[in-house]
Structure 1
Amino acid sequence: MTTSPNWECLQDRHLQPIAPSQELTLTEGQDYSLLTDLYGLTMAASYVGEGVEQKQASFELFARKLPEGFGYLIAMGLAQALEYLDKFCFSAAGLEALKATGIFAHAPDKFWLLLAQARFTGDVWAVPEGTAVFANEPLLRIEAPLWQAQLVETYLLNTLNYQTLVATKAARLRDVAGVEATLLEFGTRRAFSPQGSLWAARAALAGGFDATSNVLAALKLGQKPSGTMAHALVMALSALEGSEERAFSAFHRYFPTGTLLIDTFDTVAAAEKLAKKVNSGEIELAGVRIDSGNLEELSKVVRNLLPNVPIIVSGDIDETEIVRLKANGACIDGYGIGTKLVTGAPVNGVYKLVEIDGIPVMKASSNKVTYPGRKQTWRTFVDGVVQSDQLGLITEAKPPDSQPLLQLVVKQGQRLQLPESLTQLRSRTRDSVVSLPPECRNINTPVSCEVTISPDLKKLAQEVSKKNR
C-alpha cells in the first residue's frame, strides 16, 4: 500500500516547511506508522485482546555478530529513529485501509481505538551516533507500553541497521585513506531505495566523508553537494563540437571549479592535452577524475603531467583497494565511492524483548540466545584506548574507571536532547575509531574488542534459562 499524506494525525505537530536540517527529515507529512511488518500489528491486537497491552516492556536493539571482516560498528540512524517516534500516529485513512484487508476481523474494538489515539509515550536509551560498538551491545533500548514497543520494531531496525552499515564503512574508508584524502559519496544510484540513498548520504557524511553527490540529501543537511561529470557529456560534446578538448573547455567555461572526467577515450592523451593548457596559463584546473583502467599506474602518469592538480579516482573502490593503492605509491588525492559504500553484507541488528512488567525474559533458541534484563554497556579506557567493554544489568554498580554508553534520550515520549550536527557526528566517529586498538581497526583480519558479561548478568541468564526449562 502506498503511504499517503497524513494531515489528520500531524495537524497539531506545528510542522515547518522543508528547510536545511541536520536531521535530514524524511517523514514530514507522511504516515509511516504502518511501515511495519504485519506481525507487529497482529501481536499488538493479541496483546489488547489479552488485556496486557499496557504492561511495561523493554526491547533492546543489537547485532548478535559483526559483519564478516568488521572489527567494530559505528552506531548511526538515531536521529531518524527519534523523529519517527516523535511523529508516531495512525491516520484515519490508513486505519480504514488496514480494516479493509479483513485480516483483523476478529481483533477487539479497543485495538482500533488504541491505534486511532496512538502516540509514543515511552523512554529511549541509546548509544550516541558515531560511537563504536561491538556484538551484543545494545545500540538502543525502548521502554514503553508493550503494544507501542512492539509496533516500532521494524522501522527502528531498518533505520539503524542501514545507517550503521554505511557509517561503519565510511569510518573504515576514512581510517585507511587518511585525514588529508577527499572522500566523496557517490552511492545514490546503488542504494536500495530513494529514501535509502538519503540515509546513506547522511551516514557517509557523519562517518567521515567530505561531501555527497546527492543534491537533495546535501541541501536538506545544509551541505554543498559535490560531483564531477559523466562520460555522456564528454561523448556528446565531443561528437557535436569536434573533440574531447572542446568538451572539456565547454564544461570548464560554466564550471571553472569543477572536476574533469578524463578517461572517456584515452586517459593519458586527455591529461597531456590539459597539461598544455595548464602550462600555458590558458586554464586552471580544480581537479581531474579517473574512473577506469589501472588506477595506480594512470595516477602516476597524470601526476607527472599535472603535478599540481588534485586527482580523484572512482570505480568500485573499497577499503582494501585504498590500502593497496597507497601501498603501491598511487598518486591519488581523493576517492569517489558508491557501490561498495552503500551496499554489502548487512548489519543484522535484532530487536528483542528483555523485560516485561518487571520480569526479565530471554530467548533460548539455538544460536540465537539473548541476555535477559535491561542492560548498560560500560567502556574502560587505558591511555585513551579502549581496553574492554562490560555488558551488565542497569541495576549493577558502575565498574571502576568505566563510562556508560547508553544514554537516556527520550523520557515519556519527550526528547531530552537537541539534534546533533554533522560536525559533531564526524568528530565523535573520528574519536571513536582512533580510540580503538590497532587490531580492531585492521582491514584485512580485524579482531573485535573483548566484551565481558558481568557476573550478575550471567547469574540472571542462568536463572531465567532454568525457569524456562
Structure 2
Amino acid sequence: MTYFPGVLNQELTLCADDYSLLTDLYQLTMAACYTGEGVEQRRASFELFVRKLPEDFGYLIAMGLAQALEYLEKFRFSASHLEALQATGIFAHAPDRFWSLLESGGFSGDVWAVAEGTAVFANQPLLRVEAPLWQAQLVETYLLNTLNYQTLIATRAARVRDVAGEQAKLLEFGTRRAFSPQGALWAARAALAAGFDATSNVLAALQLGEKPSGTMAHALVMALTAMEGSEDQAFAAFQQYFPGAPLLIDTYDTIAAAQRLAMKVNSGQMKLTGVRLDSGDLVALSKQVRSLLPSVAIVASGDLDEQEIHRLKTANAEIDAYGVGTQLVTGKPVNGVYKLVEINGIPVMKESSGKMTYPGRKQIFRSFAEDKVKADCLGLADESRQGGLPLLQLFMKEGKRMQNQETLATIRQRTATSVASLPQETRRLENPVPIAMEISEQLRVLTEKTLKKPALVSG
C-alpha cells in the first residue's frame, strides 16, 4: 500500500508490507530516543507473559507464534512508511540516524518460545525476544496483539473440547462476532489448532488447507417457504444442491418439522444426515428430535460456551455436534505483557507494587509424574535442572527461522496432550487450581541481588 501524507485512506486494511507500522506510537518515540542516546544497538531481552490468568481459567494454551514469526520475518520500513512518519511532524527533533536505522533492514534477533498448543500459567514466558534494543522495542505491540488474542481463543477452544469430549464434533461459527476481519481469521486458526474440527470461515479454512463447514440460516427457510409454499419445499430445495448438509429445523415449529422429516426418512423419500437446533430448550428438543430421527446427527448452536455445553451434557442432551461462535471469539481478555528483563547483559526488573517482574532471561522447567504435570519451576535460561523438561525452544536465530512451520494437526495433538496432562482440578470450569510453580534458587538469588541495587536518582 502506498502512503500519501495528508490524504485520508479509509480502507484501513492490513497487508504484510505494512506490518512495521502496526505499532503504538511510543514504540517509535522510544526507538528514536534510544538512537539519540546511542544505545539502540545494545542487546536487549524482553519476555511476554501474563501476570494473572483470566477469572476461572486454570491454564492457558499458548497460540499465535506462527503469525508472530511471520511478522518478524517481514518486518521492514519502506520509503513510503518513512515519508508518512516524517510528515506527522512528531519526529522533528529525532536524530537523523533514527531514519537511517529504520531504513537499514529488518529484524535480526533471536526468538525463544513455548510451542503452540502448550499449557502455560501465570508469570511463565510464552516468548522471549533477544535483539538490538530498537528492534526488540518496536515489535512489542504486534507480538502482544497476536499472542494475546490467539491464546485466548485457543484456551476457550481447548476448554470446550475438554467438556464436549473426544467424540463430539466442534464447529467454529464466530466470524460475524469476532472483533475484526483479521481477528476472525486468527480466531478460526486458534480454534482449529486447539481442538475444533472445522470453521465456517471460508477464507480461513482455505488458507489453512482445511474444508469449511456450515449449515444454513433461517433466512433461506423463510425466503423459500414464502415463495415456494412450505418449509418442506425449502428443505427439499436446499438438499437438492447440498445433500450432505444439516437442515435448520427451528425456524417455525421444531418438533413439527422433525416429525415431517421423520416420515420422509422412514418412507425412503429422503436421506438426512443431520439437523441443527439454534434456539429453545436444547435438552428437551434434542431428546424429542432423537426419538423421531434416531440415526440423524443433531447439531446445537446459539450462544454456546463451555459452561452451557457442560450443562447440556450433564442433562443428557442428545447432541452430536456444537457450533460455537460469539462466546468463543469474545469474552475475558488475556492480558499478556512484554517486559524488559535484560539489557546489555545486565538483568533488570520492574519493582512497582502489583507489577513486579523477575529479572534475567528465563526458562520454564516442567516435571511429570505418570504422564501428569507435577510442577513447574521458573529458572534462568542458562541453568539446567535434572528431570525438568525445558519448555522454551529456539524458534528464530538472527532473524532466521530455526524450525519448520508446524501443521494444525500437530498443534491440535499437542493441545490435546497438554490438556490431558493437567490434573482435573486445573481443568475444571469453576474455581480451578493452577499448577504450582516454584522459583529456582538461582532466580531467587538474582532477584534479591537486583532488588538490592541502589537506584540512581539525580538531583
Q: Give TM class, smaller chain.
A: over 0.9
Does the alignment pair 1:259 with 2:246?
yes
Please identify, of 451-460 and 309-318, the stretch whose mean Cα deviation from structure 2 is larger: 451-460
Match of 2:436 among 446, 450, 466: 450
- Label 1:423 to 1:5 Cα distance change in 2 as closer, same or farther (>3 A): farther
**SS of residue paired to 2:279:** coil
The gaps in structure 1 that reach 5 residues or longer are: 7-25
Deviation for aligned residue 1:151? 0.1
**1:161 matched residue in structure 2:** 148
Does the alignment pair 1:200 with 2:187?
yes
Does the alignment pair 1:59 with 2:46?
yes
Deviation for aligned residue 1:399? 2.0
8 Å CA contact 2:155–2:194 kept in 1: the answer is: yes
Deviation for aligned residue 1:160? 0.3
Q: C-alpha separation between the residues in 2 aligned to 1:213 and 1:451?
A: 39
**SS of residue paired to 1:274:** helix
**1:118 matched residue in structure 2:** 105
Q: Which amino acid aligns with 1:264?
A: T
Does the alignment pair 1:148 with 2:126?
no
Deviation for aligned residue 1:413? 0.7
Deviation for aligned residue 1:30? 2.6
**2:201 matched residue in structure 1:** 214
**1:378 matched residue in structure 2:** 365
Deviation for aligned residue 1:32? 1.0
Does the alignment pair 1:84 with 2:71?
yes
**1:413 matched residue in structure 2:** 399
**1:363 matched residue in structure 2:** 350
Q: Which amino acid aligns with 2:198?
A: A
Q: C-alpha separation between the residues in 2 aligned to 1:58 and 1:216?
A: 36
**SS of residue paired to 2:19:** coil
8 Å CA contact 1:27–1:84 kept in 2: the answer is: no
**2:264 matched residue in structure 1:** 277
Q: Which amino acid aligns with 1:266?
A: D
Match of 1:96 among 83, 99, 104: 83
Q: Which amino acid aligns with 1:414?
A: K
Match of 1:287 among 274, 284, 291: 274
Q: C-alpha separation between the residues in 1 aligned to 2:2 and 2:445?
A: 50
Does the alignment pair 1:39 with 2:19?
no
Does the alignment pair 1:342 with 2:329?
yes
Q: C-alpha separation between the residues in 1 aligned to 2:250 and 2:101?
A: 60
Q: C-alpha separation between the residues in 1 aligned to 2:353 and 2:132?
A: 29
**1:233 matched residue in structure 2:** 220
**SS of residue paired to 1:447:** coil
Match of 1:296 among 277, 283, 286: 283
Q: Which amino acid aligns with 2:413?
A: S
Deviation for aligned residue 1:94? 1.3
Q: C-alpha separation between the residues in 1 aligned to 2:355 and 2:348?
A: 14
8 Å CA contact 2:16–2:71 kept in 1: the answer is: no
Q: Which amino acid aligns with 2:437?
A: V
Q: C-alpha separation between the residues in 1 aligned to 2:257 and 2:448?
A: 69
Q: C-alpha separation between the residues in 2 aligned to 1:93 and 1:285?
A: 57
Q: Which amino acid aligns with 2:324?
A: I
**1:331 matched residue in structure 2:** 318
- Label 1:183 to 1:408 Cα distance change in 2 as closer, same or farther (>3 A): same
How many residues are paired up? 446
Q: C-alpha separation between the residues in 1 aligned to 2:16 and 2:336?
A: 28
Q: C-alpha separation between the residues in 1 aligned to 2:332 and 2:423?
A: 23
Q: C-alpha separation between the residues in 1 aligned to 2:244 and 2:133?
A: 55
The gaps in structure 2 that reach 5 residues or longer are: 4-12
**SS of residue paired to 1:390:** strand
Deviation for aligned residue 1:118? 2.5
Q: Which amino acid aligns with 1:454?
A: S
- Label 1:468 to 1:293 Cα distance change in 2 as closer, same or farther (>3 A): farther
Q: Which amino acid aligns with 2:300?
A: V
Q: C-alpha separation between the residues in 2 aligned to 1:214 and 1:357?
A: 45
**SS of residue paired to 2:378:** strand
**SS of residue paired to 1:76:** coil
Deviation for aligned residue 1:395? 2.4
Q: C-alpha separation between the residues in 1 aligned to 2:40 and 2:444?
A: 29
8 Å CA contact 2:2–2:80 kept in 1: the answer is: no
Q: C-alpha separation between the residues in 2 aligned to 1:27 and 1:149?
A: 22
Q: C-alpha separation between the residues in 1 aligned to 2:341 and 2:16?
A: 33
Deviation sequence 1:107-137 (CA, Å, 0-9, x none): 0000001111231000000000000000000
**SS of residue paired to 1:330:** coil
Q: C-alpha separation between the residues in 1 aligned to 2:246 and 2:419?
A: 31
**SS of residue paired to 2:255:** helix
**1:70 matched residue in structure 2:** 57
**SS of residue paired to 2:183:** helix
Q: C-alpha separation between the residues in 1 aligned to 2:113 and 2:454?
A: 29
8 Å CA contact 1:5–1:30 kept in 2: the answer is: no
Q: C-alpha separation between the residues in 2 aligned to 1:466 and 1:346?
A: 35
Runs of 4+ aligned residues of structure 1 deviating over 3 Å after TM superposition are: 26-29
**SS of residue paired to 1:80:** helix
8 Å CA contact 1:5–1:31 kept in 2: the answer is: no
Deviation for aligned residue 1:28? 5.8
**SS of residue paired to 2:342:** strand
Q: C-alpha separation between the residues in 2 aligned to 1:177 and 1:354?
A: 40
- Label 1:452 to 1:5 Cα distance change in 2 as closer, same or farther (>3 A): farther
